[in-house]
A and B are shown apart, each in its own frame.
Chain A
Amino acid sequence: MRRSPRRGLAAVATALVLAAAASGCGDSGTSSGSEGDGTGKITFWDNNGGVRTEVWEQIIDAFEEENPDIEVEYVGVPIADVQSKYDAAIQGGDGLPDVGGVSTSYLANLVAQGALDPVTDRLAESGLDQQLLPAMLDSVRATVGEGEELYSVPTSANQGVLWYRTDLFEAAGLQPPTTWDNFYTAAEELTDREHNRFGFTIRGGAGSVAQALDMMYAQSGIDSFWEGDETTVNDPANVEALENYVGLYNTVTPEADLNNDFTNMVATFTGGEVGMLQHNLGSYQDHIDAFGEGVVDGLPMPTQEEGGPHTFVSNPVDGLGLFKSSDNKEAAWRFIEFAASHEMNSLWNESAGSIPANTEALNDDWIQSAPPTQAAVEALSDERTTIVQLPYYLPDWNNITKADTEPNFQRVLLGEMSAQDFLDDLADRLNEAQAEWLEQQE
């Protein structure tokens, strides 16, 4: 059969046109939308879908009842996938929501990609900024590192908590783990490997490095993440703290903890005879569900001496972001305002067991009857408490503390790498990322 070069050319041209069309279709995901008329449909992405779906549905129902001309489409995104889903939607140029749950752990990434509208002016106009905890507003500001602009409305904060089984402690005649000495003693005393009893469960898999930082700084008492442009993670006091922490693995913890992510770690705690678990306030409901009231209590991270000052690393602040590409920003903002209001913010945080951003919600009854949350609020309010601000503003932060170093943390647990080498490597990566970030700021 005779081939026609013209037809071949036409086919190639068609392919090129199609490819160009495919790559060029849609907006960039960072284009500015419009205010809209304050009615119609808005899309909301919950950044902890599944776990928080029920409470969000309650909030949405209440909002729609109060605003019958606005319909909210709820999309629950699992917490583990939310960042990649945002990234994909931004890069794909289509499908971003009007409002989305955003944590400060990836807020800087979204801002760097130009996906969010600043909400500073809207907050001031609505007066909501006067109702929100200044510390959380500061944390959101500091995350982005761009002066005074706020790119999310904070709704809640979390705090590292040492959860412990009060029944096991009482049976063994042990003091609650308020100090590090009490903690290490209890971990040892509660361990009876032959009878499937362990003093502690450690997070060795996904999320392990963030948790190790929590344990390190709380023990070392080092009050800042940076000393000049160099990180303090490999300070000798932190190295010693990490050695103590990883020394728990496979002595007072199950060997299987090596792969523990959040789900497995909580399952190990709730499914067996394990004395203690270090996690944030977010797992409170899991413990209640597993053991009922009164069997598990949560304390702020231990101190060096009884009644001494606490040192915490800053936990990510959860909030709501208004997406730049929204074509209905007025309605979207009304939804954000509603969700951050006293009643709704209280409802949400009661469900999550977290610390509400709305100051009025801090006085609500449920906080008084949730000892771990109350203890966390009190510790945070204590003037002697030091908060070590983690550099969530670094675009590489998640990459460094997850994909880059989690396998090495497992090597430390296995004894294949020393705590010093691990922290030196972590410090090198952080210093390099900080230097690059500073260069960009200039």
Chain B
Amino acid sequence: MADAVKARSRPLRRRRAGSTPRYLPYVLIAPAALLMLGFIAYPMLSVLQYSLRDYNVTKPWRNGFAGLDNFKEIFTEDDFFWDTLAFSGRWVLVEVALQLVFGLVLALLINQTFVGRGLARALVFSPWAVSGVLTSTIWILLYNPSTGVSRYLADAGIGEYGTSILSDPGTVFWGVVVAELWRGVPFFAILLLADLQSVSKDLYEAAAVDGAGRLRQFWHITLPHLRDAIVLSTLLRGVWEFNNVDLLYTLTHGGPAGATTTLPLYVAQTGIDGNEFGYAAALTTVAFVILLFCSILYLRLSKFGGDDQ
């Protein structure tokens, strides 16, 4: 019997060894590696290369190697860069914090068992399914002084005609925050709901037996369980919100008077409207480094995935 097994296994081993050349793993990962080189590494290196140049398509006589001049200008002469960076920071913090809180509350609610839960879940997730352009259009109409909320409030004697939350520098920030909140909350609700469903019911039962109320159960069971999901989702959302261009561009064009211009929007305006592609590439590089640094710091401070180690 043992001999028979040995006799069968020998040719198998030989065939496996013979048909697995040493370069096979490299061949297998080559397509992915080439795609990454072409679609990630090359564009990044290209941006880095442009950031060291003066490059304006409409003024070819100026184009050429600029060394670190673009970066020097950003940090020492460009006050608007600091304004947009400060606005981006405020935008990310407020958006992510509010989206997390509302997303968590909604996830906890639709995790309960009640009649119409399926419909409630569909309603909560529906803004996520709406395209960015459509979202912008909805909010443009809502904020429009002729068709929007302010018109109907004025009809009811509240406020004045011809006003819009987006045209007042004092209110525009919260106007765009609310619009983005509507779009962003479902992202947290979906992710957190998925994680909530994996919490063992035994834990809650044991806690209840020990006399823990719902609030204590939330603090000591639910929240620790959601920690990694919260860290990951806030990080992802933070990066996305930092890079947000479409909604702000469509709703306010970065205005009024530059009041809602994020750093990426400034990059878009500098490159696309201003044709200063070299300077825009330098701004992009700075934004990338800031984002990378903040992401690493956040993961370190939050000890993401620490329980698995």
Q: Identify the A interface with B (CB < 8 A).
A: 7, 11, 14-15, 18-19, 22-23, 84, 87, 90-91, 108-109, 112-113, 193-196, 198, 204-206, 253-259, 261, 264, 267-268, 271-272, 395-396, 398-399, 402-404, 406-408, 410-411, 414, 416, 436, 440
Q: Is the CB of A255 within 8 A of B253?
A: no
Secondary structure of the A side of the interface? helix
Q: Is the CB of B58 within 8 A of A18?
A: no
Name the one of B42, B150, B164 contacting A18, with C-beta atoms under 8 angstroms. Answer: B42
Q: Is the CB of A22 within 8 A of B33?
A: no
B169: chain A residues within 8 A (beta carbon): 414
A243 to chain B, nearest CB (A): 18
B151: chain A residues within 8 A (beta carbon): 196
Q: How far is the CA of A389 from the CA of B255 in the complex (A)?
A: 30
23 pairs, A vs B, C-beta closer than 8 Å? A7-B23, A14-B37, A15-B37, A19-B41, A22-B42, A108-B58, A112-B59, A113-B57, A193-B161, A254-B145, A255-B162, A256-B145, A256-B166, A258-B255, A259-B255, A261-B253, A264-B144, A272-B146, A399-B274, A399-B275, A407-B254, A410-B256, A440-B61
Stretch of B86-94, B195-203, B238-246, B265-273 at the chain-chain interface: B265-273
Counting residue pairs across A and B whose Cβ atoms lie within 8 Å, the total is 123
A7: chain B residues within 8 A (beta carbon): 23, 26
Q: How far is the CA of A267 from the CA of B146 in the complex (A)?
A: 9
Name the one of B154, B160, B252, B273 contacting A259, with C-beta atoms under 8 angstroms. Answer: B252
Q: At the interface, yes or no: B258 with Cβ under 8 Å from chain A?
A: yes
A22: chain B residues within 8 A (beta carbon): 38, 42
Task: Report the nearest B residue to A205, measured CB to CB.
Answer: B253
Task: Add 11 more A-B contacts to A259-B166, A402-B273 (CB < 8 A).
Answer: A19-B37, A195-B161, A198-B162, A255-B145, A256-B144, A264-B144, A395-B59, A399-B273, A407-B257, A416-B257, A440-B61
Q: How far is the CA of A84 from the CA of B274 in the complex (A)?
A: 10
Task: Report the nearest B residue to A407, measured CB to CB.
Answer: B258
Q: Is the CB of B60 within 8 A of A414?
A: no
Interface bracket on B: 35 or more
Given contact pairs A15-B41, A198-B162, A255-B167, A205 touches B272 in the complex (Cβ within 8 A): no
Contact indicator per residue, chain B 198-214, by CB within 8 Å of chain A (1) or not (0): 00000000000000000
A414: chain B residues within 8 A (beta carbon): 169, 256-257
B37: chain A residues within 8 A (beta carbon): 14-15, 18-19
Q: Is the CB of B256 within 8 A of A19?
A: no
Q: Is the CB of A259 within 8 A of B163?
A: no
B209 to chain A, nearest CB (A): 52
Q: Identify the B interface with A (CB < 8 A).
A: 23, 26, 33-34, 37-38, 41-42, 45-46, 56-61, 144-147, 150-151, 154, 160-164, 166-169, 252-258, 269-270, 272-276
A193: chain B residues within 8 A (beta carbon): 160-162
Q: How far is the CA of A399 from the CA of B58 in the complex (A)?
A: 11
Q: Is the CB of A109 within 8 A of B58?
A: yes
Q: How far is the CA of A23 from the CA of B50 in the complex (A)?
A: 13
Name the one of B60, B256, B274 contacting A258, with C-beta atoms under 8 angstroms. Answer: B256
A84: chain B residues within 8 A (beta carbon): 272
Q: How far is the CA of A272 from the CA of B252 in the complex (A)?
A: 21
Q: How far is the CA of A112 from the CA of B60 in the complex (A)?
A: 8
Q: How far is the CA of A267 from the CA of B145 in the complex (A)?
A: 10
Q: Is the CB of B162 within 8 A of A256?
A: yes
Given contact pairs A84-B272, A196-B161, A404-B274, A257 touches B167 in the complex (Cβ within 8 A): yes
Q: How far is the CA of A414 from the CA of B170 in the complex (A)?
A: 12
A15, A253, A271: residue with the most chain B Cβ atoms closer than 10 Å: A15
Q: How far is the CA of A113 from the CA of B63 in the complex (A)?
A: 12
Name the one of A255, A271, A436 contacting B168, with C-beta atoms under 8 angstroms. Answer: A255
